[in-house]
A and B are shown apart, each in its own frame.
Chain A
Amino acid sequence: MSFGSPYVTLPDFTYHKPKTVDEALQLLREHGDEAKVMGGGIGLIAFMKERLMSPSHLIDMKGVEELRNVSQVPGGGLRIGAAVTLSELLEEGKLGKEYAVLREAVSKVADPMIRRRATLVGNLCEAIPWVDSPPALIALDASVEAVGTEGKRSIPVSSFIRGPVDIDLAPTEIVTAVEIPGSRGREGAFEKFTAGSEFSLASVAVVTVNGGRKRIAKVVYGAVNSTPARCTEVEEAIKDGITPGSVRKAALVAFEKVECMDDVLASATYRKHLVKVITMKALGRMMGR
């Protein structure tokens, strides 16, 4: 048996499967820093194998029925419960045209077997730089709903992710949902560069909203730096429309302005090149829409 050796085994812990958010909060209060909350477990189990995390209590949220829903918010918008998996999000009719950027991002995460377990909220809470859904959620102005001893609060995704593996969440708080505001005329596209189902080396989420003659654009880059970041210069380049000319210009601006990092996966120079290419691909698909 392989029990005991790192990389292939997990540290010792006690497993809990609460049925309600209150029950989960109670467990968190009891065990504090010793506990970790688990969604699909994809990231957490991997971290635990490498002993980057060794919680002595694991709180599995898969049994919390109230977090398993995707619901329409009255007045427009979508509320995605913390236990909703990525494959559930991709089911027919769950993410309509106005959420296209998220649908595209989620459909390209890892592979179908991983997507059957992974949750959107787990993706966010993991906060590793090369995850695909955060740039899409930031482009959609999404926010995170967290519940703790002090009550409920809402945090924009852009500030929820403070840094790599660093999120704005107290040890006694649980993320219960992601909320995305609705917008009728909203369109979007997501592109990434990756080798097979490996981590992304660069990704871009583009959202545009048509309001009469004005077009508001949001362009967010992921996997190129320690946290996803907007590039307002690229947004500026396409504000008068997405045409062959503005796409070319936006790609060059992206190459110039998007800050890229060097790491073991790719050099900053290579990432800058990828940024140019994926900007062209994403905007190219949105041209003439």
Chain B
Amino acid sequence: MREISVRVNGRLRKRLIKDNELLLDFLRERLEVRSVKAACWRGECGLCTVMLDGALVKSCLVLAVEADGGEVKTVEGISPGGELAPIQKAFVEHGAAQCGFCTPAWVLATHELLRNNPHPSLADLTEAVSGLVCRCGTYNQIREAVAEVAGAKPRGRLEEGLART
């Protein structure tokens, strides 16, 4: 066992961990951050996506020890005061969730895309979320939610991009 300290959503957390522990388990089991979902465990579904030191990663493929001294942000971190972020409001408005299991990962990934690229094309969006899966198939609603935050409605770049495909 060794002690690691990780800043999670702005708060410094210290825990004893085993070297073979995944960041996913560290967040879910040791810190009880349950918005980070465990599903495929092999980097395919993307539901365990978190921000690690400023970049989106799949936490089932990262060791907890690698996050020592680093910073993790989960979906809770995008609405620190409890006020929903614009993309969260848009998800609600467009019904961009059905069972909701994958929603934290999608919200985090699309929020991050819009933060780096406020007016993404459809190709940018497709590329950014290509590592995420929604088994209920709410992809169209998610696209509409992103389009709204990007100010792409009714005839913004995103919808034009869509029209071309």
Query: Interface of A with B (CB < 8 Å)?
Result: 1-3, 7-15, 41-42, 45-46, 49, 58, 60, 62, 110-114, 116-117, 196-198
With both beta carbons as reference points, the residue of chain A lying nearest to B65 in the complex is identified as A15
**Residues of B with C-beta under 8 A to A7:** 41
**Contacts A10-B22, A13-B19, A41-B63 known; A113 to B42 CB distance under 8 Å?**
no
Could you list 10 further interchain pairs (A-B, Cβ under 8 angstroms) beyond the known A10-B21, A15-B65, A111-B130?
A: A2-B25, A15-B19, A15-B63, A41-B61, A58-B19, A112-B127, A113-B57, A116-B55, A116-B56, A117-B57
Complex CA gap A114/B49 in Å reads: 11
Chain A nearest Cβ from B13, distance in angstroms: 17
A189 to chain B minimum Cβ distance, whole angstroms, is 19
Given known A-B contacts A10-B20, A46-B42, A114-B131, A1 and B57 have beta carbons under 8 A apart: no
How far does the Cβ of A45 sit from chain B's closest Cβ, in whole Å?
5
Which B residues have a C-beta under 8 Å from some C-beta of A?
18-22, 25, 29, 38, 41-44, 46, 49, 55-58, 61-63, 65-66, 127-128, 130-131
Task: State whether B61 touches A14 (Cβ < 8 A).
Answer: no
Q: Which of B29, B58, B127 has its CB near the most chain A CB atoms (within 10 A)?
A: B58
Chain A residues with CB under 8 Å of B61's CB are 41-42, 45-46, 114, 117
Q: Which residues of A contact B58 (CB under 8 A)?
A: 113-114, 117
Closest 8 CB pairs of A and B: A111-B131, A10-B20, A15-B19, A111-B130, A113-B131, A8-B41, A116-B55, A15-B65
Task: With both chains docked as a complex, state the minimum distance between the C-beta of A149 and any C-beta of chain B, in angstroms.
Answer: 26
B19 surroundings in chain A (CB, below 8 A): 12-15, 58
User: What is the bound-complex CA distance between A38 and B38, given in angstroms?
Assistant: 23
- Is A41 a contact partner of B62 (Cβ separation < 8 A)? yes
**Complex Cα spacing A198 to B45, Å:** 11
Selected contact of A197 from candidates B22, B49, B57, B130, CB within 8 Å:
B130
Q: Chain B CB within 10 Å — which of A15, A113, A114 has the most?
A: A113
- Which of B19, B20, B44 has the most C-beta atoms of chain A within 10 angstroms of its own C-beta? B20
Question: A46 and B63: CB pair below 8 A?
Answer: no
Smallest distance from the beta carbon of A9 to chain B beta carbons, Å? 7
Residues of B within 8 A of A9 (CB): 20, 22, 25
Q: Which residues of A contact B18 (CB under 8 A)?
A: 3, 12
The answer to whether A113 and B22 have CB atoms under 8 Å apart is no
| 11 A-B pairs (CB sep. < 8 Å) | A1-B25, A8-B41, A12-B18, A42-B43, A111-B131, A112-B128, A113-B46, A114-B58, A116-B56, A197-B44, A197-B130
Which residues does chain B contribute within 8 Å of A116, judged by CB atoms?
Answer: 55-57
Q: Is the CB of A49 within 8 A of B42?
A: yes
* Nearest opposing residue in chain B for A60, CB measure: B66
Within 8 Å CB of B29, what residues of A?
1-2
Partner of B46 from A1, A58, A111 at Cβ < 8 Å = A111
Q: Which residue of A lies closest to B59 (CB)?
A: A113
| Residues of chain B within 8 A of A62, CB atoms compared | 66
Complex-state Cα separation, A13 to B18, whole angstroms: 9
Complex contacts, A12 vs chain B, CB 8 Å: 18-20
